[in-house]
Amino acid sequence: MTRFDRYMLSQFMVMFGFFALVLVSIFWINKAVRMFDRLIGDGQPAWVFLEFTALTLPGVIGVVLPIAAFAASVYVVNRLSTESELTVMQATGYSPLRLIRPVVVFGAIIALMMSLLAHLLIPNSLSQLRLRQDEVSRNITAKLLSEGEFLHPAPGITFYIREITPEGELRDVFLSDRRNPETAVTYTSSRAYLVQERGGTRLVMVAGLAQNLRGASNRLFTTHFDDFSYDISSLVSRDAIDLNKVAFASTLDMLGNPQEVAARTGTSYGIVMSQVHGRFTSALLCIVAALVGFCTLLVGTYSRFGVWRQIVLAFTLLVGLKMIESAVVAPVLITGALWPLLYLPVFLGVALSLALLALASYPGMLRQALRRARVPATETGA
C-alpha cells in the first residue's frame, strides 16, 4: 500500500469513527432512555440498566455501520474536492480507477467489522439479553419494592406500598387480587415483610384486613387477621425460557441444516434463509455504501458551488438501494428458494458504482451519448 493509499485510508477511518460515534450515541441514548424508565420503574438497580444497555450495543452498531461508511466516504471526497486535493491527484495522473483502491480497502475493513457483529456478537448479545430479561422478570421482589406507586406485577394484580423502612419493613400495604373474576380479594395491612423460602417468596402481612367479594351473590366478606402469608411467587411465570429463536441461531447451523433450524424454532424455511443470508448481505452493503458515495462524487466537472448535487444524488441512490433491499425480503420469506434475491441490492450497487466510475473516467462519454440522441430527434423534427 502506497503513501497515497495510507493517507486516503486514514482519512476514511477517522471520519468513519466520528460518524459512527455520533450515530451510535444517538441511537443508543434513545434506546437507553426507554429502557431506563422501564427498568428503574420496576425497582431494578442501576447495574442491571447498564448491563442491558451494553447488551443492546452490538445491534445498534450493526444498524449504523453502513450509514457511517457512506457518510465518511462522501465527506472525505467532498473535503478533498473543496480543498483542491482531488484536483491535484487527478492532475498528477491518478485515474478514478486508481483513486478507488483505498475506498475498496476501507469498505472491506467495515465489512469485516459488520461480519463479526452479524455472525457472532449480535446473536450472542440477543440471547444473553433474553436470558437476563427472563431472570429480571422472575425477580418479583425487585418489582414490588417501590414506594408510593401502584404496581401491576401480573394481570389482575395491584400492589401498593406507602413506605419501606431501612430495616426492610413494608408499611401500609395494599394488595388486590382480581385474577378470578368470580372472587376478588383485597388485602390491606399496616405492616408487611417479604420472606424468602425454599419454595419461593412470600408476603407476610401483619394486623390487616382481607375483603372477599363474591361475584355471583355480590356479597362482601371481611376477615381481620393478626398475620397472613401470601405466596407472591405465583405472580411470576415458571415456564422455561425459550432460546430457540432464529435470531439466536448460529450461521453455520442455518447454512448446514436450515430445515432443522426452522423446525426447532417454529418458523419457516424462508425466514431462516432470509436471516442467514441477511447477515452476509449486511456486510457486503457496507462496501457498496462506501463505493456509491465515492464514485458518485467523482462524476461531474469542477464547480465553485461545490458538489452538493452529487451528494444529493449519492444519498438518493443509497435510499433506492435500501428500498430494493427491503422489497426483496418479502418473496424470500414466502419462498426460501428465492434467497439469491437478497443479493440483488449488492449486485446493483456494484454495477452502479462501476457505471459511475466509467463516467468519471470518460467524462465525454455521457455528453457524446446525449449529443447522438439529440441528432435523430432534430432530423425527425426537420
pLDDT digits (tens, 9 = 90+) for 163-211: 988 888 899 999 998 888 888 899 999 999 988 776 667 889 999 999 9
- The answer to whether position 357 is within a domain reads yes
Alpha helices, H only, 220-363: 251-256, 258-265, 269-298, 308-327, 329-334, 344-361
251 with 365, same domain?
Answer: yes
Of 58, 7, 83, whose CA–CA distance to 282 is shortest?
Answer: 58
131 with 26, same domain?
Answer: yes
- The answer to whether position 379 is within a domain reads no
Q: What is the pLDDT of residue 40?
A: 62
- The answer to whether position 318 is within a domain reads yes
40 with 93, same domain?
Answer: yes
124 with 11, same domain?
Answer: yes
| Mean pLDDT to the nearest integer, 137-154 | 73
Among 19-28, 43-52, 55-64, 244-253, the minimum mean pLDDT is found in 43-52
120 with 269, same domain?
Answer: yes
* Burial class of residue 287 in the structure, from the number of CB atoms within 10 Å of its CB (0-12 exposed, 13-18 middle, 19+ buried): buried
- The answer to whether position 184 is within a domain reads yes
33 with 125, same domain?
Answer: yes
The three-class DSSP label of residue 91 is: helix
| Domain that residue 230 falls in | 154-235
The three-class DSSP label of residue 69 is: helix
Query: What secondary structure letter does DSSP report for 1?
Result: -
| Mean pLDDT to the nearest integer, 61-68 | 93
Does the pLDDT at position 48 exceed 60? yes
Residue with the larger pLDDT of the pair 87 and 202 = 202
190 with 259, same domain?
Answer: no
- Cross-strand bridge partners of residue 5: none
DSSP string, 143-186: HH--TT--B-SSTTEEEEEEEE-TTS-EEEEEEEE-SSTTEEEE
Q: What is the pLDDT of residue 195?
A: 84
48 with 125, same domain?
Answer: yes
- Cross-strand bridge partners of residue 173: 161, 189
Does the pLDDT at position 142 exceed 80? no
Of 199, 201, 189, whose CA–CA distance to 153 is shortest?
Answer: 201
Among 15-19, 41-45, 72-76, the minimum mean pLDDT is found in 41-45
Handedness of CA 99, 104, 105, 109 (dihedral sign): positive
Instruction: Please write the tens of the pLDDT for every residue from 267-287.
Output: 899 999 999 999 999 999 999
Non-local (6+) Cβ contacts of 77 within 8 A are: 86, 293, 294, 297, 298, 307
Last residue of a domain, one of 208, 235, 262: 235
- The answer to whether position 69 is within a domain reads yes
- The answer to whether position 304 is within a domain reads yes
Distance, CA of 305 to chain centre: 38
123 with 203, same domain?
Answer: no
Work out the mean pLDDT of the chain and round it to a whole number.
84
Last residue of a domain, one of 184, 216, 235: 235
DSSP string, 297-324: HHSS---TT-SHHHHHHHHHHHHHHHHH
- The answer to whether position 149 is within a domain reads no
- The answer to whether position 381 is within a domain reads no
Model pTM? 0.73
Number of domains in the chain: 2
Does the pLDDT at position 253 exceed 80? yes
36 with 93, same domain?
Answer: yes
Q: Where residue 24 falls among pLDDT bands split at 50, 70, 90?
A: very high
Q: Which H/E stretch holds residue 45?
A: none
Last residue of a domain, one of 235, 259, 288: 235
| Mean pLDDT to the nearest integer, 206-227 | 88
Does the pLDDT at position 134 exceed 80? no
191 with 251, same domain?
Answer: no
| Mean pLDDT to the nearest integer, 324-342 | 92
102 with 194, same domain?
Answer: no
Non-local (6+) Cβ contacts of 134 within 8 A are: 241
Q: What is the pLDDT of residue 237?
A: 52
- Cross-strand bridge partners of residue 193: 204
Q: What is the pLDDT of residue 153?
A: 77
Report the C-alpha gap between 205 and 227 in whole angstroms: 5
